[in-house]
A and B are shown apart, each in its own frame.
Chain A
Amino acid sequence: MEKPISSSAEYLVDVRDVHKSFKDVKAVKGIDLKIAHGEFVAVLGPNGAGKTTMVEMIEGIQHPDKGEIHIDGKQWKHHQHELHQIIGLSLQETRFMEKLTAYETMQLFASFYKLNSHRVDEVIELIGLEEKKKAYVNNLSGGQRQRLALGIALLNKPRLLLLDEPTTGLDPNARREIWNILLRLKKELNTSLILTTHYMEEAEYLCDRIIIMDQGQILSQGTLEEILSMNGGCRSLDELFINLTGRHLYE
């Protein structure tokens, strides 16, 4: 028997020894990861670390070659419909239909969740796009598009939010606007967040736990203080990253 959504598993996300290869490239090499209800987790690592592949496996877009992923006790193979209902996500660099307005784009995605315009209005307000809601997507700035992508991810009040580099390429102000929206979510709903990022300050500011990945593996994880002290008292994440991999985070 399936469990009802309310009586959820101990961990919202439970990733067990997951592997994934593309042709000759081993993108993810045996990852274990547990995420609690309401926990905000940042996954940090340079390009090619396997962050996106891991997140896309949790999103059900990629399928692991080996290992299991349970979300709220359910697996993608058997519970695709239920899992889509409780997950919100934004992919790296999605480009929405250019000649639809921001509002129409939201309405379209809302219809997939059987939500009405009332919810669209709420989310538009939450992401602060009221003034731009009648603008075509191709007339939105980079920051506004990222907020639109975030808004779409929030439509169904997801219990698990997965954001793949939601602030890459944004200026500090636009980035801070997105952080504030996420902090509000954390306060108001018990949403869990998995966020991939290149920015250390984003991870520090938003997340309860930081996971450092490189070459398809988790190198270190914990709160900021924990991972700094675990690794010989580094003073910053960048220093830690150089200690762990010999490279900068931005490479």
Chain B
Amino acid sequence: MNKITNHQLYRLIAAHFLEIIREPSVLFWGIVFPILMAWGLGIAFTQKGELTQRVAIIRTEPDIKLSAFLKDHTSHNGNLFKTQLKNKKLGNINLIFEEVSWPKAFTMLKKGDVNLILEEHLNNVEYHFDPTNADAKLLYQQISNTLKYGAEYYTNNEAEIKPLTVTGTRYIDFLIPGLLAMGIMMSCTWGISYTLIDRRSKKLLRRMVATPMKKSNFLFALMTARFTMNIVEGGLLYLFAWLYFGIHIQGSIPALIAVFIAGNIAFSGMSILISSHTANPEIGNGLINAIVTPMMVVSGVFFSYHNFPEWSQPVIQYLPLTMLADSMRSIFNEGAGFTSVVMDTLVLSGIGAVSFIAGLKIFKWY
């Protein structure tokens, strides 16, 4: 009797799967790390807690208004003046003014310790900062308004602020679908490409194809084992996001499954193409990074790609990671169904199929 467990496809899938789960670092990078990243970024960008801002201040000719403010509203300790701007909805801001010399102020600016320098001129204050730095601009407005209207200016507008914290509009809602998409890309490229290149360099591919093993079974098994891992990794990340941040999938689950599968097809196919030729793991490393890193930066995983110049938008929008992240995001947060993601699903699957076939044509087994 020939049992299913003696079938080469079963054995190949089992072998690849065992190799993955027996490597503790794989479990860390695949499962724990994305969850830590989601937690860290989620906390950093959604917590309303206190924010501390440091400002350098040059007091060669003290300004009357600023002097009064520092005297009345701050606690003085050596060259530090501390105060707090209060607002329940915006979160409190701890302002620390540090009295320093010009050279010291510049050093602090270069190190990123401060991004605003105040210089007093008897009857006025000058603000030195980089106007293209959003943080610096915001801080300038906060401090100049505080000096003009008093510390109450920041507290007074509490009533008009209506915080949007409904599911789907927070930063974490933006982030999680992006992380899921990135997880699929990373897992496929490193898991499939690197494994193939490594096995080629160790002459294992050559040894395996010197048997009656079907090459298609080998590649199919590698992709299946990786797909299974991606389900586990993605599932656990979503479970964490659901329990900790209360994230919900607002759109169609079958559509999400279709997009997830299409993403796996796209990146598995690309991985076969990337790894079709080289037997040198260092070249492989470079190749994978060259494909993966630009997409990680521009595809809108961590922040919207609309920040990039207009001319680059059409290119960015058709990168596989952008399509995957956008589709997942629209299902998670905008309640999208099949019809809105069908195009991306087809294009992603097509990219995967074409890369797979091209990769197989030039694939070096020996």
Contact = CB atoms under 8 A, between A and B. Distances in A.
A60 B11 contact: no
Interface string B2-13: 110011101110
B207 interface: yes
Contacts of A95: 202-204
Nearest to A101: B18
A115 B211 CA distance: 13
A104 interface: yes
B15 A104 contact: yes
Interface in B1-33: 2-3, 6-8, 10-12, 14-15, 18-19, 22-23
A104 to B, nearest CB: 7
Nearest to B9: A111
Given A94-B204, A97-B204, A113 B212 contact: yes
B11 A108 contact: yes
B69 interface: no
A71 interface: no
Interface stretch (A84-92, A186-194, A227-235): A84-92
Interface size for chain A: under 10, 10 to 19, 20 to 34, or 35 or more residues? 20 to 34
Given A84-B212, A99-B19, A112-B211, A94 B203 contact: yes
B210 A99 contact: no
A244 to B, nearest CB: 31
B318 interface: no
B206 A111 contact: no
B283 interface: no
A112 B8 contact: yes
Contacts of A111: 6-8, 10-12
Main secondary structure of the interface of A (DSSP, over half): loop
Interface size for chain B: under 10, 10 to 19, 20 to 34, or 35 or more residues? 20 to 34
A151 to B, nearest CB: 13
A96 B145 CA distance: 69
A94 B15 contact: no
A103 to B, nearest CB: 12
A109 B8 CA distance: 8
Contacts of B212: 81, 84-85, 112-113
Interface string A69-107: 000000000000100110101011111111110001001
A121 to B, nearest CB: 13
Interface string A108-138: 1111111111000000000000000000100
Interface of A: 59-62, 81, 84-85, 87, 89, 91-100, 104, 107-117, 136, 152
27 contacts: A61-B210, A84-B210, A84-B211, A84-B212, A85-B212, A87-B210, A91-B210, A93-B203, A95-B202, A95-B204, A96-B207, A98-B19, A100-B15, A100-B18, A100-B19, A104-B15, A104-B18, A111-B7, A111-B8, A111-B11, A112-B208, A112-B212, A114-B6, A115-B6, A116-B2, A117-B6, A136-B22
Given A89-B210, A113-B211, 9 more contacts: A61-B210, A94-B204, A96-B204, A97-B19, A108-B12, A111-B8, A112-B208, A112-B212, A136-B22
